[in-house]
A and B are shown apart, each in its own frame.
Chain A
Amino acid sequence: SQQGEEDPQALSIQEGENATMNCSYKTSINNLQWYRQNSGRGLVHLILIRSNEREKHSGRLRVTLDTSKKSSSLLITASRAADTASYFCATSGNQFYFGTGTSLTVIP
């Protein structure tokens, strides 16, 4: 069964707006990763946050992790049309699972 579940399933925003995606998981983890996948292409690793970290930044990306709620969020600030893609969370721990993804569309 899927461990990582993203919310929302689909998101459409105007260029320049912020996009927030959430991920929930079920078991204990060592780390959580966010990936991006453009249509028909491979996965691109965006950011990894470890279980003892609460927040991490990388450029326009901000990731938070709440281990008590078993959830993580990915914030993309000042979105661009090129950010249009599917975003997945994945967890590493006793097992490795991949989430169902959020499809983000940024309208120019």
Chain B
Amino acid sequence: GAVVSQHPSWVICKSGTSVKIECRSLDFQATTMFWYRQFPKQSLMLMATSNEGSKATYEQGVEKDKFLINHASLTLSTLTVTSAHPEDSSFYICSAGMEGSEQYFGPGTRLTVT
């Protein structure tokens, strides 16, 4: 089956620093990758849709200057949390797939900002 990886799986950073999270499709090419944020015991909140070669589409309420998304290739998308604050602490999950088709989810990255 299709595999999506995320790196790192867990990161702790100090307030004010930036953190980059990678999402890779390991054995398939993904034209579309989605980034989600999940708070404890809650569902996933879609943050943005990342299309290879074009700018990401952000959901309402998500600051695009704070959450920088780059879909550099058909197998890699990155999410950079800039100037992180404790309220950015969360579980970040990506999914990858072809548009309109099944999405495969990554294992998630737990970000803790101290």
The chain A residues found within 8 Å of chain B, CB to CB, are: 2, 30-31, 33, 35, 41-43, 45, 48, 88, 90, 92-94, 96-101, 103
* Dominant SS among interface residues on chain B: strand
Q: Contacts A43-B93, A96-B34 known; A35 to B105 CB distance under 8 Å?
A: yes
* Dominant SS among interface residues on chain A: strand
**CB atoms of A30 and B100 under 8 A apart:** yes
The chain B residues found within 8 Å of chain A, CB to CB, are: 1, 32, 34, 36, 41, 43-44, 46, 49, 93, 95, 97, 100-108
A47 to B49, CA, bound (A): 23
**CB atoms of B105 and A45 under 8 A apart:** yes
Q: Report the minimal beta-carbon distance from A39 to chain B, rounded to whole angstroms.
A: 8
**CB atoms of A42 and B105 under 8 A apart:** yes
**CB atoms of A33 and B43 under 8 A apart:** no
Q: Report the minimal beta-carbon distance from B73 to chain A, rounded to whole angstroms.
A: 20
Q: What would 11 A/B residue contacts be, using CB atoms closer than 8 Å?
A: A33-B103, A42-B93, A42-B106, A42-B108, A43-B93, A43-B105, A45-B1, A92-B102, A96-B103, A98-B44, A103-B41
